[in-house]
A = this chain, B = another copy of it.
Amino acid sequence: MSKILIKNCIIVPMEKSINDPGPLYYEGDIAIEGNLIKSVGDKVEQDFKPDTVINGSNFVALPGFVNAHTHAAMTIFRSYADDLPLMTWLQDKIWPAEDKLTKEDVYWGSKLCVLEMLLSGTTTFADMYSFMPEVAMVVEETGIRACLSRGLIGTGPGGEQGLLEGEELVKNWHGKADGRITTMFGPHAPYTCPPEYLEKVMDLAKKYQVGIHIHVAETLGEFNDIQKQYGRTPVGHLNLLGLFEYPVLAAHCVHLTDGDIDILKEKGVAVAHNPESNMKLASGIAPVVQMLNKGITVALGTDGASSNNNLDMLEEMRSAALMHKAAGDPTVIYSYQALEMATKNGAKALGLGDKIGVLKPGMVADIILVDFDKPHLYPRHDILAHLVYAAQSSDIDTVIVDGKIVVQSGKPLTIDVKETCEEIQKVANKIVGSSGSR
């Protein structure tokens, strides 16, 4: 079993709650044995003989980020359609382009996404898209961790085929890649999946004992349409159908009533908040402060690169903290809370709270080391505020997933950067042509 020792770093274990006594970070060593964390902070036992020793003296160690909602292959459409109204963006640009995608395109799009995520400290992501076996192959090859779901549209002609592919994904890939891959079913949204279709999804979730990843109440249009069609809010509608009897990862949750928030809390639904996507598409401002105050697990996601336009979780934390303060209270989404959303809340939301998201002995070693020896991270008053308000993804030096080093000195060890960038440019040229801005 491989043994890694990280010496003399500043450790942000993310184990404590903000109200617990004692410091939220401190200096110490981290020992990793196989894929598990052996010790955090304490001097390691004398008989621990590491294969690899990392000098952590300028590094801050924290749990790898969990990107709780994305569509990995949509890096293909990064900066392809911007500054447009939502429906123009979707109907005139994104959907016609998506119709042309092949499984090879999705492979390269997902690989570029994983490359960017690993380099910026994301060690786990929740994905919803099509051609998911290709995404699973990318996860297996690159060493990242993922919770994968086949996106399902119940209103179109591909609905039944989608269910078959979703079931195949769960059967073939759940628990694979040394356990780094888990799966969910991915009904797209209440407005694209009628009740009878959602019944089939629930039957499958029950049969395979996996969760459900779904977009909920992303736009006011959806909220109003569902109200009109069913006489209930999107959350109320899904609740009445029984969807929340399953573990649910609900993306967005922008338009909620107080009653909806009570339902989410009571049913233990986890929310993936996507601040930059919500701002960029003008979807609205999710009641994140209210949900967190109720004790709902709110995680953070980037959404696809086509509506962001990067996959940078440091930036997403900052945007979450700023966006909700802008509503009028500068004390909300304080730095530690933003970090919780990006790490342990993400782990919980993906059903991985017992494995990842905090640094403590016995947990799986998904760890990132941030190089603090940068001008923009001086002077060092508060490590947490630096991480949320000042750090940038190029400060990520080392990324460890499942006890293996996958990024070292800012360089990926499992992905050929040049090949990936060249292939994705070919895919983009093929799908949409080289467009430019005018």
**A→B interface (CB under 8 Å):** 22-25, 75-80, 82-86, 89, 112, 115-116, 119-120, 276, 278-282, 285, 305, 308-312, 315, 319, 321-323, 325-332, 334-336, 373, 375-376, 378-386, 389-390, 392-394, 417, 420-421, 424-425, 427-429, 432, 434-438
Contact = CB atoms under 8 A, between A and B. Distances in A.
Given A331-B83, A385-B79, A276 B322 contact: yes
B379 A425 contact: yes
A108 to B, nearest CB: 10
B85 A330 contact: yes
A242 to B, nearest CB: 34
Contacts of A84: 330-331
B428 A381 contact: yes
A285 B323 CA distance: 11
Contact of A381 (B83, B281, B434): B434
Q: Which 3 A-B pairs have the closest CB atoms?
A: A379-B428, A394-B394, A79-B385
A414 to B, nearest CB: 13
B381 A78 contact: yes
A339 to B, nearest CB: 11
Given A282-B327, A310-B389, 17 more contacts: A22-B438, A75-B379, A79-B389, A83-B335, A112-B378, A278-B326, A308-B389, A309-B386, A309-B390, A322-B323, A378-B420, A379-B429, A380-B434, A381-B435, A381-B436, A383-B437, A392-B392
